[in-house]
Amino acid sequence: MKYYSIVAILIFLMSCTNKRTEIILNAENVDGLTTEANITLNGFEIGKVEDLNLTSEGTIDIKCKLKSDIKIPVDSKFAIESINLLGSKGIFVKLGESSENLKNGDNIKLSKIEPTNLEDSLAIKVGDFLKSLTSKQKQDSILIELRRLNDNLEKQHK
């Protein structure tokens, strides 16, 4: 009876353990990324950053643990992004199209992908807005309106 109880407990414990796929991302700059940062796919958490190590070449290895039930094609792109306005960082995944999936121990180079995060998108929009304000035509129309407003104010004070 004892034997069956021990076997049942072992089977239960083995089924409860979270199997994870471990991959290594290679990066030149981690841009403020920390351990325990989320790894997301379409906003859904699929893993965590477990460790960051500086290599002898000066690059950084990012050890990641991914949920093993999530299949990620080998040609998928991984990139660091801001996840809030406070500057917290995470890694997001853009799925590839390969029929072969990542497996335990794979090494992948961190990608530079067009910004999809709030901070970078906001910076681009503000930059575009400032460019529109500095156009010659806008400056001229603003000056004309300011002169007209000034003339009206002077007339009221007389």
Note the pLDDT of residue 71.
Answer: 92
pLDDT of residue 124: 74
Q: Given this model, what pLDDT does residue 13 score?
A: 59
Buried b (16+ CB within 10 A) or exposed e, 77-114: ebbbbbbeeeeebbbbbeeeeeeeebeeeeebebeeee
Q: What distance in Å separates the CA atoms of residue 58 and residue 29, rounded to the nearest whole number? A: 10
Task: Evaluate if pTM is beyond 0.85.
Answer: no
pLDDT in tens, the chain (158 residues): 666 667 666 666 555 555 789 999 999 998 889 999 999 998 899 999 999 999 999 999 999 999 989 999 999 999 998 887 777 899 999 999 999 999 999 999 998 765 555 666 677 777 777 777 666 666 777 788 888 888 887 888 76
